Amino acid sequence: MVAFNFMPVGRPLKEDVFLEITDGDIATIQADVRMVSIDTPEKERMSALPRWPGQTRPLQDPPARRHLQGPAGTPKDCLVARHAPDAAARHIAASHRAADALKDIKARRLTKPDGSQRKARTIATGELIESNGRILGYLVPWFTGSASDPLPPPTHPDRRTFNLDMVAAGWAATFVIFSASP
């Protein structure tokens, strides 16, 4: 017998809301999706800046202290010069503006020419669930291909993911994880 010593990765369970049951093996749920390959300012649990809303970490904290080491003219000088007392408040405000931008993109991209709403779909990545129990994926509008909701040509901007729209709008930084690329 061959033993591979494989240890399964445990993921936390998240509560999902049952919205509808179609038949015995299909259910519609409400679930959190972590949009992969992008990063936007965080609203909650920000480890990088605040200890609580509106409060900036002192530069003497161990993570910040790492950036303060080194000769003059290095990134530490830039960090110290830019570290303002209102950095946390500005970061949190940016997170709210990024969320509003995604809401605007959603409203625009999911509205059909006749004014009705199309659905969105998730293109899952290789790793389906991340460490916080959220689905990992790319969000896309779902075109029916009907006369009232035609599928745009392959290079048309309406075929882009919401993830890419957030980058194009300037509200997300991109980072590519090759195993997560669709």
In a domain? residue 21: yes
Within-domain flag for 6: no
Domain for residue 75, yes or no?
yes
Instruction: Note whether residue 2 is domain-resident.
Output: no
Does any domain span residue 140?
yes
Q: Which pLDDT does position 62 carry in this prediction?
A: 47
Ranges of the chain whose pLDDT falls below 70:
1-15, 44-83, 177-182
Cα distances (Å, whole numbers) of residue 91 to 95, 98, 104, 175? 6, 10, 20, 19
Residue 155 lies in a domain: yes
| CA 171/CA 41 separation, integer angstroms | 8
| Residues facing 117 on adjacent strands | 111
CA distance 49 to 45: 10
- 8-state DSSP, 158: G
Closest CA to 108 of 166, 154, 69: 166
Query: Is 105 a member of any domain?
Result: yes
Give the Cα separation of 29 and 14 in Å (integer): 12
pLDDT at 80: 63
Structural domains in the chain (count): 1
Range of the domain at 111: 17-180
Q: Answer whether residue 12 is part of any domain.
A: no
The predicted structure's pLDDT at residue 32: 87
